[in-house]
Amino acid sequence: MDYETLDVLYHSRKTLLEVLGDRGFNVTPFNKFGPFEIGAMAAAGPGAFRMDLERTAEAATDTGMMKCRVEFAPKIKLRLAGFMSGLTDPEESDPVDPETTELIVITLEPVVDAFHTIATTYMLSKKLHVSFFQAHTLIHNPLKHALVPKHEIVPKDTHAEFLKSIRANSKTQLPLIRFHEDMIARLMALSPGDIVKITRPSPSAGVYTSYRVCAP
């Protein structure tokens, strides 16, 4: 693996750990790594990049996902179905449990429609939250970019009250943020039906708040 790719993997892993740490996962066991360790992992094979993270009940969101499994698969676009089957088949030695674990897959390929389709399919049919990221897009944390406004998940137990406060009959009246297709939705692990609050600067009001609903 060439130096440029190793550099991308180093920075993307650093960003991903930052994102997961902000979401309440314990990233301490994986924080101490550098370019040398990344090179050693690359030499050992994709499996060496795997991470299994957990978070406390206090940090868990109302999605109930207490665990996160991170896998590295350099090129899988042409074998996505087989790859996902190998990770989720109950007869395999270490399948992903969709009830407790979200799955993140880092790849070196662009995340195109095939990835969006299979992520949506697994969410709707198996309730498995899987997100695919091209490593190159995680060199910097998109959530902390100056041009990206603040995003916050609205707790599910307040949805009914929130919709009543804005005089909306249903979530379908809100603008959409696409599940998996939207990079921010993936980073925040949004699921269909989630409502996200977006706060951005306003030249006239100072702060402008809007809301979107996650949709397949």
> Which residues touch 205 (CB under 8 Å, ≥6 apart)?
none
Average pLDDT per consecutive 10 residues, the chain (216 residues; last block may be shorter): 93 96 92 92 94 79 75 96 93 90 97 97 95 97 93 94 94 96 96 95 86 96
Which CATH number goes with the domain that contains 187?
3.90.940.20
Q: Do 113 and 42 share a structural domain?
A: yes
User: What pLDDT is stored for residue 1 in this prediction?
Assistant: 82
Which CATH number goes with the domain that contains 59?
3.40.1340.10
Q: Do 77 and 16 share a structural domain?
A: yes
The token duo for 163 is 């919709």
User: What pLDDT is stored for residue 192 in this prediction?
Assistant: 95
- Which one of 122, 138, 154 terminates a domain? 138
- Which one of 138, 161, 187 terminates a domain? 138
User: What pLDDT is stored for residue 182 in this prediction?
Assistant: 97
Structural domain harbouring 161:
142-215
CB 206 within 8 Å of CB 194: no
Give the predicted TM-score (pTM) of the model.
0.93
User: What pLDDT is stored for residue 203 in this prediction?
Assistant: 84
Q: Do 147 and 120 share a structural domain?
A: no
